[in-house]
Amino acid sequence: MSSSKLISCNILLFSFHQFLLLIHTKPLVPALYVFGDSLFDSGNNNLLPTIAKANFPPYGQNFVQRFTGRFTNGRTLPDFIAEFVELPYPPPYLGVHESIPLTGLNYASSACGILPQTGTIFGKCLSLGEQIDLFKLTIESKLPTHFKSSEELSKHIADSIFILTIGSNDYIQNYLEPTVFSTSHDYDPQSFAQLLIDALSNHFQRLYKIGARKIIMHEIGPLGCIPHYTRKYELTGKCHEETNQIVSYFNHKLHELLQSLTSTLQGSVFVLARINSLSYDVINNPSKYGYSDGSNPCCTTWGNGSAACIPWLEACPNPNQHFFWDGYHNTETGNLVAASLCFNNAQFCTPFSIRDLIQN
């Protein structure tokens, strides 16, 4: 069977698997908590005064609930992780108005980042600090009534999986677009990376203090390879390597940070998801992964392929053959590949795969 047919079959199987979860199953972990930006947002920005939204077609054209606010054609990476651990998709926090689910929540907010100013040019979004504030509120005032004791609640949180992706917008808005902010004039690439890492370290320590113990953080992807940048520069290859080099300083420091936190915060495991090298390989060798196109967006976007999908315009007929959905985000198949690797492969999600975390 070809790689593309295998990916299509896997997507159908996982759709059936999610249906079975609705009938009866016992989850592998108590809950899945999601933090981040538009790569993980499942609808929080729908309820915020911002232009950074994806609650219209063709977004969600291959998702069972259609256009929910996910910035892709189907499921996000956390959606697949939820399926693997036999949990329902964590709903967007701002969309929950009744009883808080015990199986997890999604706090991710499109356009936002590690720094509080990131995303403000588009309106209101939830910075990582604000997302953690909302999680703290959840733990302190909304979940305790569901547990017999504080110890039982603490165990629930400690055994749950926390998954994050954040930082891309800090670079795109604050550093790589000097007409928006002056950050690139104030910091060299290494200093800016350290600024983000120091802030991220504080956020992680807050999560730990609240009770999180199993935390998976994704690298920033190869931004120099996304259509938003490949269509702005004359390239010698498929990517703008100067942009990739700037981002690499953050990813290198991130690896060191996660190792340091694991060794200093007792009982914690901080896992690095090596998404950068995987995405770079897919973009430069698409046929290896069953794609016919690793460079161009599937939907018709603003800015000649470099931005978000234009509402209601028909997308390409074969999104599974495209790695990119719009000028920034990948298709569902890319999310499936990365989620599968993180669940099973300790070389991709290191030092432990999610399967390892569950068994520990």
Q: Which residues are catalytic?
A: 38, 326, 329
H helices of 164-222, in order, are 168-174, 183-186, 189-210
Residue 273 CA to residue 275 CA, distance in Å, equals 6
Distance of CA 41 to the CA centre of its chain: 7
Nearest to 267 by CA among 212, 204, 216: 212
Give helix 189-210 / helix 241-264 axis angle, nearest 10°.
30
Nearest to 87 by CA among 39, 10, 147, 28: 28
Radius of gyration over every alpha carbon of the chain, rounded to an integer in angstroms:
19
Residue 157: its H or E element: helix 150-159
Residue 19 CA to residue 168 CA, distance in Å, equals 33
Query: DSSP string spanning 99-148?
Result: SPPTT--B---TT--SSTTTTGGGB----HHHHHHHHHHIIIIISGGGSS
